Amino acid sequence: MWWVSSVRVSGVIQFDPPDTAHLSVETEIDVASLTTGHPMRDEHLLSSDYFDLGKYPKIFFRSTGVETIGGNRFKVKGGLTLRGTTHPITLEAEYFGPVKSPFSGKICLGFTATGKLNRQDYGMTWNEAMEGGVVMGEEV
């Protein structure tokens, strides 16, 4: 699990809350900012065995469509690019707000999104046997 609080993300979300069907997302994630809270594991994840930070410093997501699930929940379909390879993915998303920020006084929205992928589809094939299984499963 990566700690979202330290991940550097930038991008653009086009969104009109009453009309989730026209939501669009373009985002990039700074791979160097990914962390698990365990420095030796983080170093390995940034190596060529996994994210290959030296060659692929960014992860990209671009939406291609949205399906409303109900209320403030929806599925966002798009392409996820890791290690220079793009595959389709569907993220389950939710938005919160609008609310007035107690810090800036501006109206804000918050978003969460989760999804699953097979890391081997992106060339992350390294693994090691250990007692009771392997270091990492294929689905993350």
| Rg, Å, the chain Cα set | 17
Q: Bigger pLDDT: 93 or 16?
A: 93
What pTM, to 2 d.p., does this model score? 0.84
Question: Per the domain annotation, does 119 fall within a domain?
Answer: yes
pLDDT of residue 15: 86
3-state secondary structure (DSSP) of residue 16: coil
Domain span at residue 127 reads 4-134
At 132, the pLDDT band (50, 70, 90 cuts) reads confident
At 3, the pLDDT band (50, 70, 90 cuts) reads very low
Question: Per the domain annotation, does 140 fall within a domain?
Answer: no
Question: Per the domain annotation, does 35 fall within a domain?
Answer: yes
pLDDT of residue 85: 97
Strand 73-82 relative to strand 133-134, pairing: unpaired
Question: Per the domain annotation, does 139 fall within a domain?
Answer: no
d(CA 27, CA 6): 16
Amino acid letter, residue 29: I
d(CA 111, CA 100): 15
Measured from the Cβ of residue 91, the count of other Cβ atoms closer than 10 Å reads: 20
Question: Per the domain annotation, does 122 fall within a domain?
Answer: yes
Question: Per the domain annotation, does 26 fall within a domain?
Answer: yes
d(CA 138, CA 140): 6
Question: Per the domain annotation, does 101 fall within a domain?
Answer: yes
Assign residue 95 the CATH number of its domain: 2.40.128.110
pLDDT of residue 72: 87
Question: Per the domain annotation, does 37 fall within a domain?
Answer: yes
Residue 61 pairs with which residues in a beta bridge?
A: 27, 80
Highest mean pLDDT among 8-12, 22-26, 60-64, 65-69: 60-64
Structurally, the chain folds into a number of domains equal to 1
Q: Is the pLDDT of residue 74 over 80?
A: yes
